[in-house]
Structure 1
Amino acid sequence: MAIFKKLSLAAWIGIGLVLGVVVGTVAPDIAVQLKPLGDVFIRMIKMIVVPLIFSSLVMGIAGTGDFKKLGRLGGKSILWFEVATTLALIVGLVAVNLMEPGVGVTMTHVGSNEAVTKAASSHGLDHVQMLVNIVPTNIIDAMGRGDMLQIIFFSCLFAIAAAGSGKEGLHIIDLSKSVAHIMFKVTHYVMYVSPIGIFGAIAYTIGEYGIEMLMPLIKLVVCLYIAVAVFLVLTVALASAVTKTNLFPLLKTLKEPMVLAFSTAASEAALPIAMERLEKARIPSHIVSFVLPLGYTFNLDGSTLYSAIAVVFLSQVYGIPFPLELQVVMLLTLMVSTKGIAGVPGAALIVIAGTAAAFGLPVEGIAILLGVDRVLDMARTMCNVTGNCIAAVVVARWENDVTADDLKEHIREENAELSSL
């Protein structure tokens, strides 16, 4: 019993994940009935996200009252996002060309024909309309749908108004601080049941689809996982150079949100705990609460990397030549088409379908990807979350809100505290 008491939350989450795989493999009939455990946990996390984002943004922006700084934050965030997503595309292209996961794969009708038809009929996303959609017509509706970009827009406008409203605005700022503090406390309570939720989610996935679904496409899964690992190492190395701080220990700080994102394949599940970990490492709350939600729309590194791999994979499956110069054009296409897709259901599928069709590749091949999409989604979601956390640290250093020495010390202290839990 003493051993169990010493285990950290991350260790319990890992145990839940492993047990889920075991139960899903050994007793699939029982495992599929455990889906509500995972569903309840995800719903509990999602109920935290909106009030936490709104209160944190209002507290951070209205509390500083520096609106020029807000503009700088946006500009620097977008700049880093573009660097990171470009690196993700390059890593994805190199990995898929070196490993050739599609060579030797026999096309089978795996997955939902309805989903493939829907993707095939889509001509991509209207980016002008995407800009229009940043402005919500109903903020309550936007919060209900979890549309991060609309929530950010309204929260920033509300915070600016609060800062300019004198005494009444101060009451709102104090209330936002209290709400943010309480929501972090709620996050702690929810995290106590996270191992059970993850156990249910993983058991259901393995029980429903079976480990055998991986066999024909194991090379694709390995290709993506290796590419994600390489990308994260390169990104942390680049961020370390930019911030003049060794950020590899930051990955230990972020292990809980990374494991949560991986095991649930839901970015929202990791957002509250990721925000808390970064703030405990003394990254300013106004940067964390601005950069992380913005990144969920503009910095989907894992999804971008996967899109590059998937399109070239389809060309390999069908034996269609896809020369390097065309792949470079595809890279430029994906740099645009993968922006602003977070709130669109099946967005990655739509982007892959639209890009494949644009380059003369059979869209029907997406069916084979659907069979293992859950396993692929786990890796790319974890990559998305980690990439956004790294972005917040980089922006904080660019803004000189934390020095290199202080950042190094804060990460060390946070890791020491996590190890003692």
Structure 2
Amino acid sequence: MAAPIAEHASHPPTKSRLYLIVLAAIAAGALLGWIAPSTGEAMKPLGDTFIRIVKMLIAPIIFCTVATGIASAGDLRKVGRVGLKALVYFEVMTTVALLIGLGVVHLLRPGAGIHAQVETLDAGAVTQVTHGREAQGIVDHLVNVIPESFVGAFVEGEILQVLFVAVLTGLALASLGRRGRGATLALEHAARALFKMIGLVMLLAPIGAFGAMAYTVGHFGLGSLGNLVTLMIGFYATALLFVLIGLGAVCAMCGVSIFALLRFLKEELLIVLGTSSSETVLPRLMDKLEHLGCAPAIVRLVIPTGYSFNLDGTSIYLTMAAIFVAQALDVPLSLGDELALLGVLLLTSKGAAAVTGGGFVTLAATLQTTHAIPVAGLSLLLGIDRFMSEARALTNMIGNSVATIVVARWEGSFDRARAADVLAGRKHHANPPAPDAH
């Protein structure tokens, strides 16, 4: 098996203090946005620039890691087995997340009593946020997985399309055997260069987090939450319970403490908190999970795929936000309407962008498809969506970390002894796992 790619990722020299720097940047950004809102809003380019730089590198990183992961596995049956297990786990957990969100929003009823009128809502604001994305039927959604050209997937930055191209490339290289080894090595070298670039970009993480948080607080203001506080608190509480109880139970079955895992990933969690995007830590996350004891081939397949198919936080948000809008507009939904909404969300939640605002765009596209709830009602969420995106991104990241551990454990490719040492602080990242240690 080829040497792990992610372990060659370059980290900032301040890695041991990065989480403190990012935390300070988040606090400073929030303070600036609160004290001087106009100045805070002016910091928006800092956060946007950081996320754009990361997004620029994500598509080629996913392509290289997935393609080389499949090509280097040697046994295509194993690749198929790992992929099937991952997809089964993803579907189960995202369905559970959707159902939990549906149950909580019915229990809390945060939209009841608002009595908003569709005619008075700003539908144009929703269109501006979603960039006018047209509704897609189920068939169109599936067809859209296939890019119009090989490079089209990278130009558009659609993760599902990049995954499609990467899987085809990996399968082709694997079928060539030794003749495809040269191309596989070239992709591995390209991946190392990309990880090096990400390492350099991470030096800007505190600046990006500062700019994003300053803009969020400055533009929307803490007072803009109004009667939407119940929804936001309910969502945060639901996401937290899902992580601690749901994912915690799954971790326990793998012999890992969810609290120890969260401590281990504290730097990545703070970067995601500041930028509202789980994509910003994808290479670092892969690096850490390999160090934790997950086989590199498993990490390379599960993490990139999970970024499209395993968005637990987004799934919770989608059902809670959709039913909230229906409650606020006094739109009665029958059991059939809710089942239809759930069915569409089971599909559209796969491929929801893991970047800021991706969940909002996916929700708009879903409501356009079902027609049961007016899309204009999403304007009620504009003031708090950015605040809720942090919880979405954090839950998505943690969910994918747990998914990787589960699949590795399922495959017998998880080193529990190493994980115990790493989580207890007895084995530091300076000693990466050997290529075939798993």
Letter in 1 for 2:17: S
Question: CA separation of 1:354/1:50 partners in 2, compared to 1, >3 Å: closer, same or farther?
Answer: closer
Deviation at 1:411, TM superposition (A): 3.7
Q: 2:65 aligns with which of 56, 65, 81?
A: 56
Which residue of 2 is the match for residue 189 of structure 1?
Answer: 200
Name the stretch that deviates more: 68-77 or 256-265. Answer: 256-265
Aligned to 2:55: 46
Pick one of 184, 188, 191 that aligns with 1:173: 184
Distance change (3 Å), C-alpha of 1:397 and 1:81? same
* Distance (Å, rounded) in 2 between the aligned partners of 1:150 and 1:10: 33
Q: Which residue of 1 aligns with 2:6?
A: none
Return the TM-score normalized by structure 2: 0.83
Q: Does 1:130 align with 2:141?
A: yes
Is the Cα contact below 8 Å between 2:367 and 2:374 reproduced in 1? no
How far did residue 414 of structure 1 move? 8.0
Unpaired runs of 5+ residues, structure 1, are: none
Which residue, out of 371, 375, 392, partners 1:380?
392
- 1:234-264 CA-to-partner distances (Å, cap 9, x unmatched) read 3322322442433431122222332222322
| Superposed displacement of residue 305, structure 1 | 0.8
- Are the structure 2 counterparts of residues 219 and 53 from structure 1 closer, same or farther at C-alpha, using a change threshold of 3 Å? same
Deviation at 1:319, TM superposition (A): 4.2
CA-CA distance at 1:203 after TM superposition: 0.9
Alignment of structure 1 residues 325-340 onto 2, 5 Å = 327=338, 330-340=341-351
The reply on whether 1:350 has 2:350 as its aligned counterpart is no
Superposed CA RMSD in Å reads 3.0
1:78 aligns with 2:87: yes
| Matched residues, number | 410
Contact 1:152 1:290 (8 Å CA) reproduced: no
Alpha carbons 1:124, 1:337 under 8 Å: kept: no
Contact 2:159 2:308 survives alignment (8 Å): yes
The answer to whether the Cα contact below 8 Å between 2:123 and 2:376 also exists between their aligned partners in 1 is no
Contact 2:59–2:157, Cα closer than 8 Å, also in 1: yes
Give the distance between the partners of 2:398 and 2:263, measured in 1 at CA: 11
Structure 2 residue 25 is matched with structure 1 residue 16:
yes
Output the CA distance in 2 between the equivalents of 1:41 and 1:233: 30
Distance across 2 between alignment mates of 1:124 and 1:43? 25
Of residues 46, 65, 75, the one that matches 1:66 is 75
Q: Is the 8 A contact 1:307 1:351 kept in 2?
A: no
Query: Is this contact kept in 1: 2:348–2:362, CA < 8 A?
Result: no
Distance in 2 separating the partners of 1:6 and 1:161: 38
Q: 2:40 aligns with which of 31, 34, 59?
A: 31
| Runs of 5+ unmatched residues, structure 2 | 1-13, 431-438
Selected match of 1:87 from 83, 87, 96: 96
Give the C-alpha shift of residue 222 in structure 1.
0.6
2:140 pairs with 1:158: no
1:320 deviates by: 4.8
The aligned runs of 1:161-310 (5 Å cut-off) are 161-310=172-321
The amino acid of 1:47's aligned partner reads M
Q: Confirm or deny: 8 A CA contact 1:256 1:273 kept in the other structure.
A: no
